Structure 1
Amino acid sequence: MKVFTCFHTKVLALSILLLPFAVLAQKAPMKFGEVDAKQLAMKSYEKDPNAAAVILGDYGNTYFVYSDEGGFRYIFERHTRIKILRKEAYDKANVEIATYTSTGNSNKEKLTEIRGYTHNLEGGKAQKVKMEKSQVFETKYNKNYLITKFSLSNVKEGSVIEYSYTITSDFLFNLRSWTFQSDIPTVHSEYRVSVPEYFGYVQISQGYKPYDVNEKSSSAGSIASTSRDRDNPGSGFQRNETNYANNINIWVQKNVPAFKNEKFITTEEDYLVKMDFQLQSTNFPNSGYKSVLGTWEKLITDLEKEESFGGFINRRGPTKELVAVTIAGKTTPKDKMYGIYEYVRKKFRYDNRDGIYARKKIRELLDKPAGSSADINLLLINMLKEADLEVFPVISSTRRHGKVNESYPLVDRFNYVTAMVKLGEELHLLDATDPMRPVDMLAYDALNGNGLVMMPGGKYTWVSMMQAPRTANVTVGNYTILPEGEVKGTTTIQYKGYEALRLRKKLIKNPETVKIDLAQEDTTSLIKKKNEDDSELEKEIKKYTYKNITDFEKALEAATQVQTSEYSQVNGDFIYITPMLMHQTKENPFKQEERTFPVDFAHTRETGYYINYIIPEGYKIEELPKSARFAWGDGTVKYDFLVKAEENRIQLVSKFIIGKAVFEPEEYKDLRNLFGQVVSKHTEQIVLKKK
């Protein structure tokens, strides 16, 4: 959830009345409680016939008011109307609204004017059921957030539901964001924002669909105020009038498609069409321009002063003896780095909580060696500094938390911290939250965009968090084809990178160390490619014998004996074999013809198959798969499918290299086509004919 900062502002220390904004005088886009007969009769949504529901209209309006008691605050009004087409969408009638309360309850947002209706056609006539106050209840989410929930009643297929509410907020650092897209299609989404000229907000727009309306305007207004008459103190107060301007924005998105949570993305919040706001500056009469947003240098300086960040890193006493013991006998900086990293990753257990601030004191962490990612990695940085290594904290955002916008220094956009060690010209990123990960291998969830490298004196630079070593699966198969069509032989597989990590976790069966199931991201996996459930995956794993299971610095190796007739067919004098056997890629992971957002693999990858066949005596090669090479002009993506025959032997190579982690939408079509080529080549057959 977004963190809001309380920001009270009084102008000229006098009583102010803000006259109504022009934006408020505009005609309401929808009239609450009145639904068009066509909307009630709708059976499906023409632009998405499979949609279970459609947002007919979603309207938001933010404007400012002022009072002597509270200063400036903003009012946020929302009116949402949804057509329920199928029962799968009944949950759209369950609404949750979050409101913020400052620590200590000194200030909180107020949610008022909650209204709701369910509209139905009953016997050809429109009927509506009003939501009662008893259907609204509150729950405490945490010390800063209250969740108000309500459910609209009498919802059925064909219903139109609508609700509206108002939020009054003193927390002006963030205006209410607006999301124009959801998991169901939207006919019309509109957000209006009117801001007094005294406030300068940065508008952070994201998404891959342009706005149908993006209008800017201004309207004149005046502030009626009273102040003490300085020229004639005995006369008491005088009435003043100050002119001001309202800066008005209107954004409209029409016919927005439902967001489909496709493969190879970070979090959907990175891709939805939405608008965020951050207060950048204020410029009040008699007080002048003031920057509020700050700078990266200030953000770093503030973190250095923070006890649970800079104070934790720079505290020397508690780890002095521990570091001396850990690096005893190690003479080079690299050996010291490896020694400290090895100690921390094996000693301290990650509790699956993330953040950039330590939750524990150092001595508490040493006594009970378990903590958050910040606890563990800040301790790692502390110990590396104690060993006189050149180390810098790197703050970043996880894939589930969303990408960091490098244009705006906002500390709440970060939720992960790692260590960067400089050894001469070498840079190493260290993340000690998993005992199975070697140096330079971050948590999978940390492979996201760029991280902020914090240097002394407020200096900084950015580093890619997606420098993970290439994940590779290399399979070697040596098989003999028997006259009855059976294939017999051995398979050996070498796993590197995140695929090795994923499989090691299955083999060691230590759920406490599991942070994320990588199988859902690795569709090129040799083991989990047929949507097996966990029990089937376990059976597949048990077929292999393994080497280097606990030697995490080495590749994981697997070997098995193969004897199968599943991939071959005998028909008269002919034997037909699909030579990729169980290694065949059967489906293209990219189903959609078009994609409006990037493909994010998180890391580079390589999948190679080197397969050798001996054909049975008395047979000759009638037909072979055709060799082919595919490569992008920049060399980042390559696919080789090579087949060669010599006497009674057939050699087949299928090698697919994805040399970068992120592909832009304009590259999607070529990427999808290349995966299609892999699927196609893997279906081609060897045909043998009896002599």
Structure 2
Amino acid sequence: MKIKSLTLLMVLSCVLFVNGQNYKPGKVSKEELKQTQDPLFPDADAAILYREYIVKYDYSQSKGFELSTTVFERIKIYNPEGFDWGTKRIKTYNYNADREQVGGIKAVTYNLVDGSIEKDKLKTAQIFEERINNYYVATTFTMPNLKAGSVIEVEYILESPFSSIDDIDLQYTIPVKKIVVDVKVPDFFVYKQYPNPQAALAYTFAESDKNIELKFREQSGLGTLNRNGNIGSSDGRQLKDRTASYQERRYLLEEVNIPPLKNQGYVDNIRNYQARSIWELSLIKNPNGIPKNYSTSWEAVTKSIYENDKFVNQLNKEDYYKDELSALLSGVSDPMEKMGIIYNFVQKKVSWNGSYGYFPENGVKQAYKAGQGNVGDINIMLTSMLQSQNIPATPVLVSVKNYGVPLFPTRYGFNYLVVKANVSGKSFLMDATDPYSYIGLLPERAMNWQGRAINRDGTSNWVPLYPSFASNALTYVQAEIKDGAFEIKTRERLSQHYARDYRSEFRAKSNESQMSSLDKNGEDVSFSEFDVKDLDTNKEHLTRSFKATSPSLIEEINGDLYFSPMLIFAQKENPLKDDNRLYPLFFDYPKSRKYNITIKIPEGYKVNSLPEQSKAQLAGGAAEYSYLISEAGSNLQLAVTLDINNPIFVADDYQYVKAMFSQIVEKETEKVVLSKI
């Protein structure tokens, strides 16, 4: 009862503190600067003390309605780990005439020095602009004189020629003490506004309406507001003052003490579960014409992308590769072999420049010539080459994991492209941007729920992106005890994603770097005779072998020998440490991990006790674990298997999965006891 009362008192104190603060720019208090930790979330590295997000449509007679967003925030930095919050990166669309503008940047760092508040203002020379790709620019700056204990204030205005309002974040990885969101929308623009359905928290806006009068000047004749809010006029010559009125809807939200997003590990993208306000533009009213409906379907979205000149025209280009591809495929008639040759050719011919997007960045012809391109360049090129050889192939629109999952039909729901081909009655997904993948195997960034395949007639359909097969890792071990230490010989076969991930991490690294990754439990182990085969290929499998010696794996007590038969491969810690789970669990892809371990019983010893055999299974066979150990002549035989057949578990299944891993840790740390004969 005392604990509950204390917690309630802390919450009430925080609310009173928040409500008593002055959040006008420049009004940072000494109390804020003296604060050393967040009272509700003491582990936080920083906290958003106040965030104000104001969205409105500004009207001008020449441009009509344009979107304006003003952001002001005050952030407390508690320790050096929170310094990242002192660097700002504002991303804006900047392509041809369609340009968003960032202006009015004001930023100040406040520090308490000898009892006085010192201010360091951001200078214009400290603001930088970098082009991300053909479409986006980033404005970046880092706050001056940042220290543990600093408070920073940042203010800027984002002006956009586009009508649609971006999603508004309400929750972050640090606590938010107070947030105010104020959105004002003319009734020409009709929105569907709703919270993120995957978030644990949801907040409601208060809505109100107000009549607004516009004053403008026009030539004599009848002026009209068009669908963009521009004033049309007749051919008259006299200027007259006129007024027009419209209804403005206001959406207002004020919240305090929003808890931070907690990254619990094994999450696809933490933003998928972030509290935020989603704004879907459904209609623009034209007072003197037909309203334009923006509510759409996935079929219409994909069709509009496919029919865009930047997409379909690039897909239909063949002249730039025709001669080279014909020579490459000379004498090859088997479609499967052709597909493999084409995939390998594109994968090696054009390297990925790291830029996403389903539209080609510089055009497929230029990418082919330069040997470098974005995702759209490379995979549209791959699709075109496959189609040119009468291999049924379609581009597949994808949202990568760090981009999130699209919740409603919009062309902005995708930012990536892979390819699907059908050969001999089978479908194959592929991505030639990844230097470690092969046909049928996508990189993990692209395995995000489902993609939208666009057929040649413009129709489309959903395609699952997670593999239906399990990736396998099989480890064979022979071990014996010599001179008080284990000598271990290991041969390992990694397949599918296990092999791809290993190549991605270690292809460019030395044997020493690879060996250092083997000792996952920090044992006293020395490695030798390390060898990896097929590291530099993209075959389905790779193998590695090594020897290891360790005196720390065995303990002698009163003449008996104690050791875990899992040796250096034991799972000693449960990776799931939280008491409760807020988000689904993601294990990336279906997988099977097997160990076959043979341990020679030293002469003069016998088995005193063995761990009990164990099996565990989650509902529906979503995951299975088996631990089978036996004495076979002068050897111990151990077979351990962990199969994760369903890589995604809902949060309600967390306790079952955690309990299974606890059982694995308990079992794999149990000891064999050998006694002298």
Tell me if both proteins adopt one fold, taking TM over 0.5 as the criterion: yes
**Mean CA deviation greater in 50-59 or 235-244:** 235-244
Paired residue for 1:164, among 138, 148, 155?
A: 155
- 2:430 equivalent to 1:393: no
Tell me the distance in 1 between the aligned counterparts of 2:573 and 2:471.
Answer: 20
Counterpart pick for 1:355 among 354, 357, 367? 357
Greater CA deviation, 380-389 or 670-679?
A: 670-679
Q: Report the count of equivalent residues.
A: 641
RMSD (Å) for aligned C-alpha atoms: 3.9
The aligned counterpart of 1:588 is 574
Q: Write out aligned runs for 1:34-433 (5 A).
A: 34-35=27-28, 38-90=31-83, 92-104=85-97, 108-109=100-101, 111-112=103-104, 114=106, 116=108, 118=110, 120=112, 123=115, 127=117, 129=119, 131=121, 137-141=127-131, 156-173=147-164, 175-203=165-193, 205-206=195-196, 209-211=199-201, 213-224=203-214, 244-292=246-294, 295-359=297-361, 364=366, 367=369, 369-400=371-402, 402-405=403-406, 407-410=408-411, 412-423=412-423, 425-433=425-433
- Answer yes or no: is the 8 Å Cα contact 1:207–1:272 preserved in 2: no
**1:212, 1:254 within 8 Å by CA — same for their partners in 2?**
no
Structure-2 separation of matches of 1:78 and 1:439:
46
Measure the CA separation in 2 of the matches of 1:531 and 1:103.
55
Superposition TM-score, scaled by structure 1 size? 0.81
CA distance in 2, matches of 1:100, 1:505: 32
Deviations 1:505-540 (A, max 9, x none): 5775489xxxxxxx9xxxxx98373589xxx99x95
What letter is aligned with 1:409? T
SS at match of 1:245: strand
Shift of 1:44: 2.1
Task: State how far apart, in whole Å, the 1-side matches of 2:547 and 2:144 are.
Answer: 61
What is the Cα deviation at residue 216 of structure 1? Answer: 3.7
Does residue 658 of structure 2 align to residue 666 of structure 1? no
- Offset, 1:576: 0.7
Partner Cα separation in structure 2 for residue 113 and residue 564 of structure 1? 60
Do the aligned residues in 2 keep the contact of 1:404 with 1:450 (CA within 8 Å)? no
Sequence identity (%): 23
Matched, 1:454 2:454: yes
Determine helix, strand or coil for the equivalent of 2:347.
Answer: helix
Q: How many angstroms apart in 2 are the aligned matches of 1:313 and 1:150?
A: 39
Structure 2 residue aligned with 1:629: 615
Offset, 1:578: 1.4
Amino acid at match of 1:43: T
1:456 aligned counterpart, secondary structure: coil
- Alignment partner of 1:463: what SS? strand
Structure 1: how far apart are the matches of 2:298 and 2:291?
A: 20
Find the aligned partners of 1:213 and 1:378 in 2 and give their Cα distance: 41
Instruction: Map Cα deviations across residues 214-263 of structure 1 (whole Å, 9 max, x no partner).
Output: 134222313345775679x9998888766543333234554333345453
- Structure 1 residues 512-527: aligned runs within 5 Å: 527=518
User: Structure 2: how far apart are the matches of 1:353 and 1:146?
Assistant: 13
**Partners of 2:600 and 2:509 in 1: CA distance:** 41
How far did 1:638 drift?
A: 0.8
| Preserved CA contact (<8 Å) 2:107 2:152 | no
Indicate if the aligned counterparts of 1:74 and 1:170 stay in contact, CA closer than 8 A: yes
2:494 counterpart letter in structure 1? Y
Instruction: Call closer, same or farther: CA 1:186–1:611 in 2, change over 3 Å.
Output: same
Give the distance between the partners of 2:531 and 2:80, measured in 1 at CA. 49
Q: Which residue of 2 aligns with 1:503?
A: 502
> Equivalents in 1 of 2:260, 2:236: separation in Å?
67
Q: How does 1:604-683 map to 2 (within 5 A)?
A: 604-683=590-669
CA distance in 2, matches of 1:272, 1:234: 54
What letter matches 1:164 in structure 2?
A: E
CA distance in 2, matches of 1:474, 1:250: 57
Partner Cα distance (2:25, 2:601) in 1: 76
- Give the SS at the match of 1:344: helix
CA spacing shift, 1:211–1:565, aligned 2, 3 Å: closer
Q: Name the CA shift for 1:122/1:246 in 2 (closer, same or farther; >3 Å).
A: farther
In structure 2, do the counterparts of structure 1 residues 156 and 467 end up closer, same or farther at CA, with 3 Å as the change threshold?
closer
Where structure 1 has 5 or more consecutive residues not aligned to the other structure, the ranges are: 1-26, 512-518, 520-524
CA contact (8 A) 2:199 2:272 kept: no
For residue 679 of structure 1, give the secondary structure of its aligned residue in structure 2: helix
What code does the residue aligned with 1:118 have?
Answer: Y
**SS of 1:676's equivalent?**
helix
**What CA distance in whole angstroms lies between the structure 2 residues aligned with 1:490 and 1:117?**
58
495-504 or 572-581, which moves further after superposition? 495-504
* Contact 2:499 2:540 survives alignment (8 Å): no
Task: For 2:293 and 2:113, locate their aligned partners in 1 and report how far apart those are by CA, in whole Å.
Answer: 55
Partners of 2:85 and 2:675 in 1: how far apart? 62
**Structure 2 residue aligned with 1:565:** 551
Deviation sequence 1:17-47 (CA, Å, 0-9, x none): xxxxxxxxxx998334435665344332122
Give the Cα separation in 1 of the matches to 2:267 and 2:632: 44
Q: Where do 1:525-544 residues align within 5 Å?
A: 527=518, 529-530=520-521, 543-544=529-530
Write the letter of the residue equivalent to 1:686.
Answer: V
Summarize the Cα distance change of 1:339–1:235 in structure 2 as closer, same or farther, 3 Å threshold. closer
Distance 1:347 1:94, change over 3 A: closer
Distance 1:74 1:644 in 2: 72
Distance 2:93 2:382 in 1: 34
Q: Which runs of 5+ in 2 are unaligned?
A: 1-19, 224-234
Residue-by-residue CA offset, 1:300-335 (whole Å, 9 max, x unaligned) = 344434454322322344444444444444444333
Are 2:104 and 2:155, in contact at CA under 8 Å, matched by a contact in 1?
no
Provide TM-score, normalisation by structure 2.
Answer: 0.83
Q: 1:585 Cα shift?
A: 1.8
Q: Secondary structure at the match of 2:489?
A: strand
